[in-house]
Structure 1
Amino acid sequence: MIVERIFISSERGAAQVECEQITVQSQKGIQGDRNCGKKTHPGQNITLVEAEEIERFCAEQTRPADLSITRRNLITRGVRLNELVNVEFLIGNVRLRGIELCEPCSLLGSSLSSKTLTSAAVIKHWLHRGGLLADVLSNGEITRGDGIKIET
């Protein structure tokens, strides 16, 4: 269970930047990311999605696998994120808490739609597969390749 890729975006709609390492602040999120310090709703600190779900979608749509397509911050491998709602876990030395599923929105639907796949069909595909919204509970760094440990 690892972090495979890391992305941030300085503002809504801006191009994502891939990072080897990010600095996170408790209850604020990722330094340099558009949501850092915003507390409109719980779980806004950081977003995660499973690489396996992105790869499945890309294979079904016969498109090249692009792990950045969902615009989530952390792309994970080997962990079922749906099982981390209301669960504390560690990524490297950073403690997080899963808040809720990151369900697909119309923005994701429109960005992944095509001539053969409607926005509504994209949203339906990603329902319960769109990842996890989490709060950051400790300060630290998250690095590509960091392990994910579920607290029991």
Structure 2
Amino acid sequence: MGTHTEGSVDAIHIAPEAGAEMQSLTDVRAVADRGLEGDRYFDRAGSWSGEKGRDLPPEDRALTLFEAEALDIVERDAGIELEPADHRRNITTRNVAVDHLLDERFQIGGAVCEGIEICEPCAYLESLTEEGVLSALVHRGGLNVRIVSSGEISVGDQIAVL
């Protein structure tokens, strides 16, 4: 199998319900077509679950990725310091261009995933953080991911395109 290493998992966060504070985990179970155990989207309780006008079914937003490097860019360009929990995506990655995972199958730890849609940052995120976050994160908002096969994901796990 010709996999090549793309990067790794820098942080894992879940929130039990929409708007709830993000909780940091060292490992989590990713469940195919559901999401991360304990996360709001796993129980269909997220802000985007079944939202009218949104064309993605919940399983295509089972998991969200965000580049750690984008946090550095926001700090540099906008002078805004964000913690990995602040961007409200589930997995913060290191050394991987997540937009290159769009339409790709890739492995994160024990789970196989597929990149479905680039996430643009939303006004909701800015309302939870501070003004300027939205513009600083345009085209750096992360990636919506479908979980194809279940498995454990831990901080430090490799992310590899299949």
- Common fold by TM > 0.5: yes
CA deviation after TM superposition for structure 1 residue 123, in Å:
2.1
CA deviation after TM superposition for structure 1 residue 29, in Å:
0.7
**Is 1:73 paired with 2:93?**
no
**Which consecutive residues of structure 2, in runs of 5 or more, have no partner in the other structure?**
1-6, 51-55
Contact 1:30 1:46 in 2 (8 A): yes
**Which consecutive residues of structure 1, in runs of 5 or more, have no partner in the other structure?**
none
Quick one: distance in 2 between partners of 1:79 and 1:29?
Answer: 21
- TM score, norm. by length of structure 2: 0.83
Quick one: distance in 1 between partners of 2:43 and 2:106?
Answer: 21
Q: How many residues align?
A: 145
Aligned residue in 2 for 1:50:
67
Aligned mate of 1:91, from 102, 108, 124: 108
Quick one: distance in 1 between partners of 2:137 and 2:77?
Answer: 12
Say which is worse superposed, 81-90 or 36-45, in terms of deviation.
Answer: 36-45
**Is 1:138 paired with 2:138?**
no
Structure 1 residue runs of 4 or more that deviate by more than 6 Å after TM superposition: none
Contact 1:55 1:67 in 2 (8 A): no
Cα RMSD of the aligned pairs, angstroms, is 1.6
Identity of aligned residues (%): 33
Cα offsets for 1:38-68 (capped at 9, x unmatched): 3632421001100000121123333445222
Aligned residue in 1 for 2:20:
14
- TM score, norm. by length of structure 1: 0.88
Aligned residue in 2 for 1:149:
160
